């Protein structure tokens, strides 16, 4: 099931204060962060905070770049930054898209602004999830029939993430593709696998659910649903001692 982004301000993370008078070629700028962390589904609403702890404003790397790509780090959001007249881009980053797995969200955002001489202003950067979320769901029929199961998610960047039966957390990953394989053990003790499946065209700031079902109990197939796609998947019995 696909979950699309809904713009919603979670928190404005700044304190406004009076600034000292500047010369005609300088101005004071304060940076504020606004987290757009809500995700919306057709029937239910959830946010990134349902799947991991959201970072505080102080955890972000914030910087200001000018037209010549000179960088001014912003280490204290409560303090103003003095800039000369010109055009700038303020950016904020938390985490990295290349660092994928459980509890590894990456947030990014940027905002263009100009300084036109003396005075002060607040520049708000709207930050949102830069990658996507993949979570797992299992029907009662599936969990009743399979005593044990585990999966391996391989992201487009080559990161392998193990998902055992006991794992309930969602995976944060770069949003474009991943491959899925798995091993299942039925009530009879038979161990089965399914051919690796690939899921493409993932979008940023979106939560996807991989749902497993075994509606035809006792057969050599299961059903895997992803977004609006449902796949009937054949199972192959294997001997783990080989």
**Position with higher pLDDT, 100 vs 21:** 100
Q: Taking residues 73-93, what's their average pLDDT? A: 95
Helical ranges in the chain per DSSP H: 140-145
| Of 53, 32, 3, residue with least CA distance to 127 | 32
For 207-238, the pLDDT digits (tens) are 999 999 998 776 789 999 997 788 888 898 87
Under 8 Å between Cβ of 34 and 126: yes
Cβ-in-10-Å burial (0-12, 13-18, 19+) of 212 comes to: buried
| C-beta neighbour count of 136 within 10 angstroms | 19
Cβ-in-10-Å burial (0-12, 13-18, 19+) of 52 comes to: middle
SS3 content of the chain, % helix, strand, coil (to 5): 5, 55, 40
DSSP line for 64-106: EEETT--EEEE--TTS-EEEESEEEEEEEEES-TTS-EET---
Looking at residue 168, its pLDDT comes to 94
| Of 138, 137, 143, 136, residue with least CA distance to 217 | 143
Cβ-in-10-Å burial (0-12, 13-18, 19+) of 179 comes to: middle
For residue 50, pLDDT beyond 80? yes
Under 8 Å between Cβ of 100 and 175: no
- And the tokens for 105? 């969200």
For residue 26, pLDDT beyond 90? no
Tell me the Cα Rg of the chain. Answer: 24
| Of 225, 152, 144, residue with least CA distance to 186 | 144
CA distances (Å), origin 100, targets 12, 32, 53, 167? 27, 27, 15, 16
Looking at residue 118, its pLDDT comes to 79
Q: What is the pTM of this model?
A: 0.82
DSSP summary character for residue 118? S
Three-class DSSP category at 144 = helix
Looking at residue 136, its pLDDT comes to 95
């Amino acid at each position: 099931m696909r979950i699309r982004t809904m713009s919603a301000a979670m928190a404005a993370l700044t304190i406004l204060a009076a600034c000292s008078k500047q010369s005609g070629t300088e101005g004071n700028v304060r940076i504020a962060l606004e987290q757009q962390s809500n995700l919306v589904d057709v029937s239910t609403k959830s946010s990134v905070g349902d799947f991991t702890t959201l970072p505080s404003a102080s955890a972000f790397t914030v910087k200001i770049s000018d037209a010549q790509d000179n960088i001014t780090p912003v280490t204290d959001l409560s303090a103003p930054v003095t800039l000369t007249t010109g055009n700038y881009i303020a950016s904020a980053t938390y985490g990295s898209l290349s660092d994928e797995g459980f509890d590894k969200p990456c947030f990014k955002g940027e905002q263009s602004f100009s300084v036109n001489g003396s005075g002060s202003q607040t520049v708000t950067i709207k930050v949102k999830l830069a990658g996507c979320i993949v979570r797992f769901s299992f029907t009662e029929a599936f969990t009743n029939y399979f005593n044990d199961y585990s999966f391996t998610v391989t992201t487009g960047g080559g990161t392998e993430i193990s998902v055992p039966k006991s794992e309930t957390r969602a995976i944060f990953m770069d949003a474009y593709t991943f491959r899925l394989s798995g091993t299942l053990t039925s009530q009879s003790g038979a161990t089965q696998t399914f051919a690796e499946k690939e899921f493409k065209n993932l979008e940023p700031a979106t939560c996807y659910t991989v749902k497993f079902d075994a509606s035809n109990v006792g057969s050599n197939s299961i059903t895997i649903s992803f977004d609006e796609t449902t796949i009937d998947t054949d199972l192959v019995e294997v001997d783990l001692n080989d």
